[in-house]
A and B are shown apart, each in its own frame.
Chain A
Amino acid sequence: MPGLEDLYREIILDHYRAPRNRGELPVPPAHKAEGFNPLCGDEVVLYLVVDGDTVTDLKIAGQGCSISQASTSMMSAAVKGKSVGEARRLIRAFKALMSIHESKLEGEGDGEDLRAELEGVRLGDLEALQGVVKFPVRIKCATLAWNTLQQGLDEIESD
């Protein structure tokens, strides 16, 4: 039976208590992307600056549970300074990390196809969020920041 320490790893609580890159950026030049989880009221706000092919700056705002806010902070630390391509690879890898377990839970195979998304991607601290998958109702909390980032990058690209 999964315990609380699987869900609330120390690194997660650290990001929750002391979120990185918290703040706002002027829009424009920054792009603002917002994500909501209507079921629990979690809210993620991202201010993204993409210069050329690089996410040069990123600030986070919003409110929600420890998992959603820690995931947002960890995402911001992982993505800032990276290329858009790398950021998108991280998004796919992180969502795969969550979905492999979800698809196992739902009996949809062993997630081998999703494993390909994780090949060669270094998740680092983000792997601490892996424990969330043992608490299925909280997966949405962890993925909210990443879905919002994807939405923001898509919006910037289509401008």
Chain B
Amino acid sequence: MSASLVTPLDVARIKGDFPILERQVKGKRLVYLDSAATSQKPLAVLDAMDRYYREYNANVHRGVYTIAEEATAAFEAARAKVAGFVHASHPHEIVYVRNATEAINLVAYSWARANLREGDPIVLTHMEHHANVVPWHILAAERGVQLRWIPLTDDYRLDLTDLPALLDGAKLLAVSAMSNVLGTINDIRPLADAAHAAGAHVLVDACQAVPHLAIDVQEWDADFVAFSAHKMCGPTGIGALWSRRELLEAMPPFMGGGEMITQVTVDGFSPNEVPWKFEAGTPPIAEAVGFGAAVDYVTALGMDAIREHERALTGYTLDALQRRFGTDLTIYGPLDTAVRGGAISFLFEGIHAHDISQVVDEEAVCVRAGHHCAKPLMRVLGVPATTRASFYVYNDEADADALIDALARAEKFFAL
């Protein structure tokens, strides 16, 4: 129906790397447009995890036998890959956690409880995911810290007009690098500079950004960066907290148990070095191996190529949506692809997001409907829910066209 979209990725070949995309649903080709929730997994990641369980499954940092050494080496090699991927200055600045949510909770329970007092301000934004809201609500209830909010502009970006006042006296700025609802990319460096000038630490929820943009945590000059493996072709159950080594060293342990100690007596314990100080208990070893394989996979595609591909596909889809549906459809997010990622939230006039997503499912098109774990944002937008389509490396214009055709069918179905 349209001229072929040229992007730096060979999507036809990439699709072949993802076994799930061969699946038919309701007799139709699976069109997966919910990668902002979780990405699909390439064979390279599945194989790496399978190989670990089949060939060298053993606990890490314990045994002296060969396969235990192999397991430990693979576990730590994956950490180095993750560190390199986000340009950490050392692998030991990467703490393995379950997901970005746990990374943020680690900072809230360890760093914040050791450093924040009653009345200390924490600055958040109206576009945060619940993962970067609720831990701070819990801290506010427990410690009486004060939450301040950066509002949004009419074009769905951060309204920084009152930033100096909001940061005045603040101890922490906790901000998303890319909104999971609006797609908005936030320019972290100037925010970090302003926060540091005000004496605040900076936590970046990079869960949506790390899979889609080349990230350099040092260039950001952040203090904490949280992200997950499962949105970047890796497995669920593992993510990372990056922080500067001296900060991690000064922080008290989060959870106690095996692995996180150097010495335990009946009288007490001495914590292990970072990052293991924060990794109590047997870690998700196969998942770490899969995380490393996911880094290899997306690195081979090239993060700049991924960004360029998604930017082209997002622009194509935004144009097509507006052309096809005009004013019947409202897009919640910037229209300029230079400042947004590939998550597109929208609503049809008079049709609920859930009804849309139900009807497009008949065409095997997977989109998400709901509040996307961003209820404060939904309230700001004045909507109960949106429908969201989101792209990744295996999506192409045929997927975008399938979405638009399915939406046209849904609109017709519910037409008044």
Instruction: Give A95 Cβ to nearest chain B Cβ, in Å.
Output: 21
Closest to A39 in B: B370
Q: List which B114-166 residues lie within 8 A (CB) of chain A.
A: none
The yes or no answer to B407 lying at the interface (CB within 8 A) is: no
> Per-residue CB proximity of A38-67 to B under 8 Å, as 1/0?
011111000000000000000000011111
The tally of CB-CB contacts under 8 A between chains A and B is: 42
* Max count, chain B CB within 10 A of own CB: residue among A7, A17, A66: A66
The yes or no answer to A138 lying at the interface (CB within 8 A) is: yes
The yes or no answer to B355 lying at the interface (CB within 8 A) is: yes
Q: Are A41 and B378 in contact (CB under 8 A)?
A: yes
Q: Are B355 and A17 in contact (CB under 8 A)?
A: no
Which residues on the A side are within 8 Å of B371 (C-beta)?
40-41
Q: With A8-B413, A13-B414 in contact, is A41–B358 under 8 Å at CB?
A: no
Closest to B26 in A: A1
Q: With A4-B413, A41-B384 in contact, is A66–B352 under 8 Å at CB?
A: yes
Instruction: Give A132 Cβ to nearest chain B Cβ, in Å.
Output: 11
Which residues on the A side are within 8 Å of B352 (C-beta)?
63-66
Closest to A7 in B: B358
Which residues on the B side are within 8 Å of A138 (C-beta)?
354, 358
The yes or no answer to A141 lying at the interface (CB within 8 A) is: yes
Q: Are B413 and A41 in contact (CB under 8 A)?
A: no
The yes or no answer to B285 lying at the interface (CB within 8 A) is: no
The yes or no answer to B261 lying at the interface (CB within 8 A) is: no
> Per-residue CB proximity of A1-45 to B under 8 Å, as 1/0?
101100110000100110000000000000000000001111100
Q: Are B359 and A4 in contact (CB under 8 A)?
A: yes
Instruction: Give A108 Cβ to nearest chain B Cβ, in Å.
Output: 26
Q: With A4-B362, A135-B358 in contact, is A41–B414 under 8 Å at CB?
A: no
How far apart are the CA atoms of A67 and B353 in the complex, in Å? 12
> Per-residue CB proximity of B346-386 to A under 8 Å, as 1/0?
00000111110011001000000111000000100000110
Q: Are B413 and A65 in contact (CB under 8 A)?
A: no
The yes or no answer to B1 lying at the interface (CB within 8 A) is: no
User: How many B residues touch the partner, as a band?
Assistant: 10 to 19
Closest to B415 in A: A17
Instruction: Give A4 Cβ to nearest chain B Cβ, in Å.
Output: 6
Instruction: Give B402 Cβ to nearest chain A Cβ, in Å.
Output: 17
The yes or no answer to B64 lying at the interface (CB within 8 A) is: no
> Per-residue CB proximity of B378-416 to A under 8 Å, as 1/0?
100000110000000000000000000000000001101
Instruction: Give B108 Cβ to nearest chain A Cβ, in Å.
Output: 23
Instruction: Give B259 Cβ to nearest chain A Cβ, in Å.
Output: 37
Which residues on the B side are within 8 Å of A135 (C-beta)?
358
Q: Are B384 and A63 in contact (CB under 8 A)?
A: yes
Q: Are B362 and A66 in contact (CB under 8 A)?
A: no
Q: List which A89-142 residues lie within 8 A (CB) of chain B.
A: 135, 138, 141
Q: Are B414 and A66 in contact (CB under 8 A)?
A: yes
Contact partner of A43 among B359, B378, B384, CB < 8 A? B384
Which residues on the A side are within 8 Å of B353 (C-beta)?
65
Instruction: Give B351 Cβ to nearest chain A Cβ, in Å.
Output: 8
Closest to A17 in B: B416
How far apart are the CA atoms of A138 and B355 in the complex, in Å? 10
Instruction: Give B213 Cβ to nearest chain A Cβ, in Å.
Output: 30
Q: List which B310-358 residues lie within 8 A (CB) of chain A.
A: 351-355, 358
Contact partner of B384 among A3, A4, A64, A141, CB < 8 A? A64
Q: List which B167-206 residues lie within 8 A (CB) of chain A.
A: none
Q: With A17-B416, A63-B384, A66-B414 in contact, is A41–B355 under 8 Å at CB?
A: no
Which residues on the A side are within 8 Å of B416 (C-beta)?
17
27 contacts between A and B (CB under 8 A): A1-B26, A3-B362, A4-B358, A4-B362, A4-B413, A8-B413, A13-B414, A16-B414, A17-B416, A40-B354, A40-B370, A40-B371, A40-B384, A40-B385, A41-B370, A41-B378, A41-B385, A42-B384, A43-B384, A63-B352, A63-B384, A64-B384, A65-B352, A65-B355, A66-B351, A66-B352, A138-B358
Q: A4-B359, A16-B414, A67-B355 are in contact. List 9 more A-B contacts (CB 8 A).
A: A7-B358, A40-B370, A40-B371, A40-B385, A41-B385, A42-B384, A63-B352, A64-B352, A65-B352
Interface residues in chain B, defined as those with a beta carbon under 8 Å from any beta carbon in chain A: 26, 351-355, 358-359, 362, 369-371, 378, 384-385, 413-414, 416
Interface residues in chain A, defined as those with a beta carbon under 8 Å from any beta carbon in chain B: 1, 3-4, 7-8, 13, 16-17, 39-43, 63-67, 135, 138, 141
Closest 4 CB pairs of A and B: A41-B384, A65-B352, A65-B354, A41-B385
